[in-house]
Structures are given as structure tokens and as C-alpha cells.
Amino acid sequence: MTLEYDLFWSFRSPYSYLVTPRLLAFEREYDVKCNVRPVYPIAVRIDGFFKQVNPMWPPYLLKDTMRVAEMEGLPYAWPSPDPVRMDMKSGEVPKEQPYIHRLTRAGVAAAETGQGLAFLKEISSVIFGGVKNWHEGDHLKEAAARAGLDMDALDRIVEEKADSLEAVIAANEAAQKAAGHWGVPLMVFEGEPFFGQDRLSHLKWRMEQKGLKRR
């Protein structure tokens, strides 16, 4: 029996980017299915979040994510532009967001094709992999193609079905909260949350108790 888990994932989360290749390898090696459930970043979901955050956290996050990327052998740089437009000094996040809505809705549309995890991997590799102006030219189109998808077609769905995609995102965020955590990446198996890129081994351990098998 194929074991399934839900993956709550954000296009602004470096840790989401860093864990995704391992999640793909996990799915290739084991009889497991990842249900991709994109959510908006915490900067968008929680009003004023970055106005209250400890100022030591962002510098540590950058150091830690650089370390993890080096350990995993992944290219890494903070996105240019940032998927969430915000004032880094004040923490102010404007309501108008030109990038993150498109990305998150496209992630939902990709998940509905069954290619969600591959899409997350390829798109985040462009965003966090050191590609400047990743939103311009054919960067996203070529990344989507590597995942077996058509970015133009996804963009049409993003425009034509915005309301229904937003409803899915809202449902994902509600399910994430119900599982017992607010952060990403969050893997949830049989109601048990596993938060963070360093919890994949814990997820695998729990699934092995439930009969996880190699392919």
C-alpha cells in the first residue's frame, strides 16, 4: 500500500527549496506519495509578522540556509527579486504582491496535474539558485518544462481560475494550522506534523513503522 503525506510548502521559504530534492529522491526510492499543498509565506499570511520578529533571526537564517545548501551541494542565493515584496528594515509588507500570488497559484495548478513536487523543485531552483531576475524572460518557462509542464498554460489557469485556486490555498493553510504548525516545509503523515527540512528522517522513520517499502 502506498503511504501518503501532505507537504505544506512556500515559494519564499529557503528551507522548502533545500528539502525538495530530498523529497523527490524519497518518492523515487520508496512507495510513497507526496500531496503537494502550497501555502502563502508567513510574511503574507500573518500581518505584521516581520515587525515583531527577533532581529537576530534573519541573519541566522541566512547563515544556516547557506550552510545547509553547501552540505547538500545545492546552488543558493537569496532571491533577486524577493518573491515577497517588503521593506526589510521596517518589516512592512504591501498588499500588492506581483510575484507570490502567481507562484503559489501556479503551484496549486501544478499539483492538480500530479507534477507538483517536480514543479516546486524546478521553480525553486531558479528562484533560490542564484538566477537574477528569475521572473523575467524564459526562466520560469524553462523550469516548468523541466518538470514536464507548460508555464504559459499554468499562467492561463492562474488568471482564469484565480478564485478557485485561492480557495484551495486557503484550505491548505487551514489544514496546515489544524495539523499543529504554521511553518514550512511541513510534512504531515496521518495527522502527525514534521516541521523543517531536517525532519525528513523522522518522517521516514514513522512511515517505516507503518510499513513503508522500497520501490
- What pLDDT shows up at residue 109? 98
Catalytic residue, chosen from 10, 13, 16, 124, is 13
Domain count across the chain = 1
Give the per-residue pLDDT at 18.
98
Report the pLDDT value the prediction gives residue 92, as an integer from 0 to 100: 81
Domain hosting 18: range is 3-209
CA distance 36 to 59: 29
179 lies in some domain: yes
Per-residue pLDDT, 57: 84
Assigned domain for 104 exists: yes
User: Is the pTM above the cut of 0.85?
Assistant: yes
Task: Give the C-alpha distances (Å, rounded to integers) separating 154 from 5, 9, 205.
Answer: 24, 18, 36
Q: Is 37 a domain residue?
A: yes
pLDDT at 142: 98
Task: Return the C-alpha cell found at 180.
Answer: 499543529
Domain assignment of residue 126, yes or no: yes
In a domain, 214, yes or no: no
CATH number at residue 56: 3.40.30.10
16 an active-site residue? no
> What's the pLDDT at 52?
79
Q: Check residue 49 and give its pLDDT.
A: 76
Is 81 a domain residue?
Answer: yes
Q: Which residue has the cell 485561492?
A: 166
Handedness of CA 76, 197, 35, 106 (dihedral sign): negative
The pLDDT score that the predictor gives to residue 53 is 79
Q: Which stretches of the chain score pLDDT less than 50? A: none
Q: What are phi and psi of 30, to 5 degrees?
A: -125, 155
